[in-house]
Structure formats: C-alpha cells, structure tokens
Amino acid sequence: MTRIRIRIAGIAALCAVFFLAGSAQDNKEQQITQEIVEKAEKIFGITFNDAKRDSMLGNLNDRLAGYEAIRAVGLPNSVPPSLEFNPVPPGFEFEKTRTPLRMSPVGRLAVPANLEDLAFAPVRELAELIRTRKISSEQLTRMYLGRLKKYGPKLECVVSLTEELALEQARRADQELAAGKYRGPLHGIPYGAKDLLAAKRYRTTWGAEPFKDQVIDEDATVIKKLEEAGAVLVAKLTLGALAWGDVWYGGMTRNPWNYNQGSSGSSAGSASATAAGLVAFAIGSETWGSIVSPATRCGTTGLRPTYGRVSRAGAMALSWSMDKLGPLCRTVEDCAIVFSAIVGPDGIDQTVVDVPFNYRPDVDLKELRIGFLKTEFDSARANKAQNDSVLVVLRRLGATLIPIDLPKRYPVSDLSFILSAEAAAAFDDLTRSGKDDQMVRQIKNAWPNVFRAARFVPAVEYIQANRVRSLLIQDMATLMKDIDVYVAPSFGGDNLLLTNLTGHPCVVLPNGFTSEGTPTSISFIGRLYGEAKLLAAAKKYQDATGFHLKHPTLQE
C-alpha cells in the first residue's frame, strides 16, 4: 500500500513568484522580471544568479496564462485534490475480525417527574429509556428544543434550529418503536451538528459571513448515517468562522461554565451545547485541536478518530490531509456508540477505509501497555496536579505505566504550514474575490491574513514538509509498536499537532477543575484505527473519577 499520497493538485499556484506578478494575467504589459524573481528569492530562502534568473523568465511568464486557465474551471470547496494522504506506515496490519458493539449494562432507570432532569443523562441511559418506551423520542426532542431556545441565545451556540425536521424524525422513531423496529442505541436520540456539515432544507454557513445564506441541497454522509441509526437532528451548531476559534458571524460562542469565556473552537457550539445539556451529543471536527480544545474548555468528552475512519463527504474542507469528524459527548461510551454509527466508507470520500471497530467496555488495564509522555507531564506548567492525578488513578486501576517520549528528530511545529497551504487552496476564491474582507476576525492571526500569507508557500517546500511528515509517521509507528495507548497532557509539547499530522486517534475527557471552577482535561492517544482499546481504556479512567458527572449552572 502506498504509505503517503499527498494532496498537491493546484499547490503550484501558491508559489510566491507568481503572486508577486499577480496582476500580469490581467495586464499583459506587466511581466515577471529578473528583479521580481530576485525579490521572491528572499521569501524562498534561496539565491540564483542573473543568468539563472534570466533562464527562468520564459517558463514563469508562460505559466501565468496556465494558472488563469485553471482558475477559470471553478473549484467549489467540495472538490478534493486528486491525490490523497494516507497515514498507514509500511507493514501496518489491519484488524479483520468484526464483532458487534458491546455496551455497559445499565441499572433500573426511572423517568423523573421533570423531564429536564434528563438533559445531562448520557446517551446510554436515554437509549434504554427509549428502547423500553418509558419516554418517547418526541418528548425528549421537545425537551431539548426547549432548552436550545432557552439557553442557546446566551451561549451563542446555535446557528439554526432544525425543529420541523427534528419533530418529523422523532415521530417516525416513535412509530417504528411502536411497530417493533429498533434501530439501535441512537434511535430517537436528539443531537446537534457542527454547521460545516450539510443538511437539506437548512443553511450551512461554515460560521462565516460570506457563507451565512448558503444552502447546500444534500445531507453530509455523517448526517445520513445518523438518520439511518434513528438519531434526531435538533440543531446546527456554531463553529468559529471557517473552523477557527469560537468567533462566528453571529458572535462568540460561550463556555457554559464561565460566560465571560469563549468555548474555544472550532467545534465551539458542539462542545458548548453538549456541556450545557442542550443536546444529547454533537458532531464536531478536528484539523488541529478543534475537538480537543473546546472539549477541554467546556468539560465534554470528545473522540478525534483516526484519519480516514469517518467520511467527510458533505463537510466543509479546510485541510484535505488533516480534517477528521468525530463526536462530542458526555461520556466515553457515548463516543463509542456514536462512532459506531458514523464509522466506515460511503463510496464518496476515498480516504476512508473499511476497518472493524470492535469496542467492548470490559477491558483489563493490566492487559494493556499504557504509556505516558514523561517529559510533558514533568514540564507541565498549567494544571500539573490534575495531570499527575491521572497517573495515580491509572496505577490504582492496575495499569503499569511506561514512560515514553515523542519522536524528536523532526521540527514538528514547522510543519504546521501544511494546514495553512491546504486551507488557502480550499478558500482560494474567497481570497481572490476580496470577500475575505467580510470575515469578522481581521487580525493578523486569523484566516484572511493566513490565506494570503500561505500563497507565498513554495510548492516544493509544501512537498518537502510532507516528506518529513512521512518520516514522522514511521517514527510514530515504531513508538506505537510497544504500547496500545498513551496518556498526554492535552496541550503538552508537540503532541496535539504531531498526532493530527500522523492521523492518530485521541479521546479527550475531563480530569478536574481549575481554581476558577472551569474544567481541565487529559488526552488518551491510541494506535491508528485502535479506537476500540483507546475508548475502553479512557472509560476505565472516567468511571473511576466522575468529573464528567458535574454540570455547569446556566443563564437564561
């Protein structure tokens, strides 16, 4: 299997020399000159002599017309490059045996007098109440819709209520249950989706002013799969504009634990609404921290799956080689339940592989090889006590912890421009049209400026960075041969960026609170396609601590 296939179609247009001569295609009198090439060399970190510059001019000027011809084709965000990233290292062996999803048993459940007392109940319990028909999906759906209307405006976490669709889906779920048709643990469960996922009949705004009226007449694959599982879509939830941060065209999504804080992002609304009990679970996405960061801030449990586990068809593309979709929930097992419904290929997203997900909750930590990032734990400046307590709990549960270090040979942080270059290509028309001026955030450290700066990334350097990424994947494969799972401070060292570049799965979950009363988190990292063991190990820790059982006090 080809280990890494980098999406590079169109990247040549990023070369700064052509940008410096950008108006040449519109004004034929302006051409690339030796002087322009010499200035561009400073951006590239390379020096040519006059003879070499003169030799290049013919090629450089000829290509300008070619770039303009390519731009004339028109490339909507939904069109991927022709080459694909693959995180699988040489010699990797996929699991082949498939077993049914196993869930933890639930005790005897009673319906409270006030249905809102179920607002923070995990999916596992809500599913049992619906399966046994102690409550109806319509009752649950109306309860969550009421909470979305009541608390959503203050939290600024909702783009669109999908009330009409939700009630249709809830009634259908109840009818099927009455007829003896049970689709599984998500049947009749209300959820929210990050508003980068297309849903018919409703806007898909990507959180950004230029797209706030956009309607995509299709359902994203994840939306389809959840509908097939019987889940009920009650809201499209906010994201930081074009998947950065928590600021969107309608405001700043709030942390329900502290309304003076943003919820972080970019899965801002998905984390906020889940933490506030406005939905039973939500779907988010991560490219570089967009599940881990808001889950940490809001105290939810999130799963960032292995790259290529969940189809991104119908989702906004930011970085084709890094984007991943996953659930934000109240418990680890809820993440397993949702993941089991959305995992697997759809015949559209060609990066998705068909690999079994054999989750079982009764794993024995003594049988797992669990590592911990010793350097990151030792050097942690923030929340060190909470981080260290995780190791204490795991040892008490019988785990033998193995100190490990991440690969150090390569400049991981310097590879981050891979994301910027791909994002600039994904939103090329936004930059060229000048519509990026409509974006709410216009500071230096925001997308409009990042997109512009990324046009100066040479295609050669983009490819070289991905070749280093290839070596990083091999080093991680060597590290993960000796362990099943490792534990890391959620923002310790290069771990977050590194594992997003290599495609490894992560479960982030609460591990305590700050002195101000806001949540902190810990991250468990698993082998490629190893979500089953990863989730099971994280569940053992979560069940032994109970931080996820605490909930914020909401403001109307």
Give the separation between CA 259 and CA 249, rounded to whole angstroms: 18
Q: Which two tokens stand for residue 195?
A: 């508003």
| Nearest in space to 94 (alpha carbons), one of 407, 349, 358, 404 | 358
DSSP assignment string, 227-293: HHTT-EEEEEE--STTSSSSEETTEEPEETTEEEEE--SSSHHHHHHHHTTSSSEEEEEESSSTTHH
CB atoms within 10 A of CB 120: 17
CA dist., res. 411 & res. 396, Å (int): 36
Which residue in the list 267, 290, 340, 521 is annotated as catalytic? 290
Whether 267 is catalytic: no
- Which is nearest to 365 in space by CA: 402, 400, 335, 393? 400
- Three-state DSSP at 68 gives helix
**Are 483 and 404 a contacting pair, CB within 8 Å?**
yes
Question: Of the listed 136, 137, 263, 266, which one is catalytic?
Answer: 266
Give residues with Cβ within 8 angstroms of 531, minimum separation 6.
Answer: 303, 305, 306, 309, 336, 339, 357, 359, 505
Query: What is the C-alpha to C-alpha distance for residues 312 and 316, in angstroms, rounded to an integer?
Result: 8
Hey, what are 220's tokens?
A: 């994203």
**In angstroms, how far is the first alpha carbon of the chain from the final one?**
54
b/e 457-493 (16+ beta carbons within 10 angstroms → b)? bbeebbeebbebbeebbbbbbeebeebbbbbbbbbbb
Q: Give rounded-to-5 percent helix, strand, coil for the chain.
A: 40, 15, 45
Catalytic position from the list 136, 137, 194, 539: 194
DSSP 215: B
194 is catalytic: yes
Cα–Cα distance list, 389 to 97, 152, 392, 487 (Å) = 36, 34, 5, 12
- In the residue annotation, 266 being an active-site residue is answered as yes
* DSSP category for residue 522: E
Say which residue the tokens 């050097």 belong to.
379
Residue 552 gets which letter from DSSP?
A: P
- Rounded CA separation 218/192 (Å): 17
Known catalytic residues are: 194, 266, 290
